[in-house]
Amino acid sequence: MSLRNLPAAQALERPEGLHWDPPSDALERWAATATMAEAPGTIGIMDVIGTDSWTGEGVTAKRISGALRSIGSKPVTVSINSPGGDMFEGLAIYNLLREHPAEVTVKVMGLAASAASIVAMAGDRIEVGLGSFLMIHNAWGAVVGNRHDWRAAADIFEQYDAAMADIYAARTGQPVKEVAKMMDAETFMRASEAVDKGFADATFNDPTPSSDGASARADLSARRRLDALLAKDGMPRSERRRLMREALGTSGAAEPPATLRAGFDPAAALRLLETIRS
């Protein structure tokens, strides 16, 4: 068990046709800091929670479980910079960290939003870097189906929200109703605010991004920011992925920047889209 007495995340039903996608505003904030490198001796959660359908990357409970097995019964530091993603993967990672037999220290390096904020709550000690943010909100996803599926999904989403509110309330000491109001408002908290509200124990100085692989990471960051802006404009996930596949010249599988279609410049495309939107 964790050194802190935290509630276990309940096993919840996943509706048919449900697709998780990090909130567009969280994606936009995260993309600007996604180049940060994890520090040695930590488990780094520096991507979306779950598998990203267009990059093929992401942080899964399976990966975290393997990392914890290799660490053994020793203290662990978890560095987080993630816009969130699949709530079920987030709850599973939370439970894995909660049951770790030694102390778990969580450090928010840039952003811990949505499902990533649930993961952060598993820390015996939670620290947020100055200039970093922690965000909580209601369950967010897309459901495909008829009116009965949508009504059933709304009922199930209420259960998801209640389960997350219980975890936040247990970690912060705040009443569940107050936490639910914060979730309704989709609340972004800077470091000092997160400490004041009990979502973190302390702040630390903003870490310096690594320069290793800066060009490749900048390219990936540009693509993700472009994806975030398209999502913010209301373009469905399937259409965004189709456009990206065509631009990248791939069949849908993730490929490194070197395989980009000739002439496609994600940064230039991003600048053009931002100009059009402004």
pTM, full prediction: 0.66
For residue 49, the 8-state DSSP code is: B
Q: What is the dihedral of CA 260, 261, 267, 270, to 10 degrees?
A: -120
Whether 137 is catalytic: yes
C-alpha 273/C-alpha 277 separation (Å) is: 6
Alpha helices in the chain (DSSP H): 24-31, 61-71, 87-98, 115-120, 147-172, 176-184, 191-196, 214-232, 237-248, 266-277
Tell whether 232 is covered by a domain: yes
**What are the tens digits of pLDDT across the range 90-105?**
999 999 999 999 999 9
Asked if 149 and 95 sit in the same domain, the reply is yes
At which of 204, 234, 258 does a domain end?
204
Query: Is the per-residue pLDDT at 106 higher than 60?
Result: yes
Task: Name the 3-class secondary structure at 57.
Answer: coil
pLDDT band at 40 (very low <50, low <70, confident <90, very high): very low
Q: How many domains does the chain have?
A: 2
Tell me what the mean pLDDT of segment 247-275 comes to. Answer: 50
Query: Is the per-residue pLDDT at 43 higher than 50?
Result: yes
CB under 8 Å to 191, separation ≥6 — which residues? 108, 128, 129, 130, 131, 132, 133, 200, 203
Asked if 235 and 199 sit in the same domain, the reply is no
**What are the tens digits of pLDDT across the range 132-190?**
999 999 998 778 889 998 898 889 899 999 999 999 999 999 999 999 999 999 999 99
Tell whether 255 is covered by a domain: no
The boundaries of the domain holding residue 236 are: 212-247
Tell me what the mean pLDDT of segment 67-86 comes to. Answer: 92
Tell whether 108 is covered by a domain: yes
Tell whether 42 is covered by a domain: yes
From 79, 82, 100, 137, the catalytic residue: 137
Percent of the chain whose pLDDT exceeds 90: 45
Residue 117 belongs to domain with CATH number: 3.90.226.10
At which of 139, 170, 204 does a domain end?
204
Whether the Cβ atoms of residue 199 and residue 172 lie closer than 8 Å to each other: yes
Asked if 129 and 221 sit in the same domain, the reply is no
Asked if 218 and 124 sit in the same domain, the reply is no
Asked if 80 and 199 sit in the same domain, the reply is yes
- The letter for the amino acid at 31 is A
For residue 106, the cross-strand partners are 78, 126
Tell whether 56 is covered by a domain: yes
Question: pLDDT value at position 214?
Answer: 47
Asked if 44 and 154 sit in the same domain, the reply is yes
> Which one has a higher pLDDT value, 207 or 189?
189
The HSE-up count of residue 184 (CA atoms within 13 Å, CB side) is 7
Task: Name the 3-class secondary structure at 172.
Answer: helix
Tell me what the mean pLDDT of segment 198-209 comes to. Answer: 79
The HSE-up count of residue 121 (CA atoms within 13 Å, CB side) is 32
Tell whether 268 is covered by a domain: no
Question: pLDDT value at position 145?
Answer: 85
CA distance readout (Å), 153 to 17, 87, 116, 147, 273: 10, 14, 22, 10, 34
Asked if 155 and 82 sit in the same domain, the reply is yes
Query: Is the per-residue pLDDT at 209 higher than 70?
Result: no
Whether 114 is catalytic: yes
Tell whether 194 is covered by a domain: yes
Asked if 162 and 233 sit in the same domain, the reply is no
Tell whether 92 is covered by a domain: yes
Asked if 44 and 162 sit in the same domain, the reply is yes
Percent of the chain whose pLDDT exceeds 70: 61
Average pLDDT, the chain: 77
Asked if 148 and 70 sit in the same domain, the reply is yes
Asked if 97 and 221 sit in the same domain, the reply is no
> Which one has a higher pLDDT value, 233 or 125?
125
Asked if 200 and 218 sit in the same domain, the reply is no
From 79, 114, 117, 221, the catalytic residue: 114
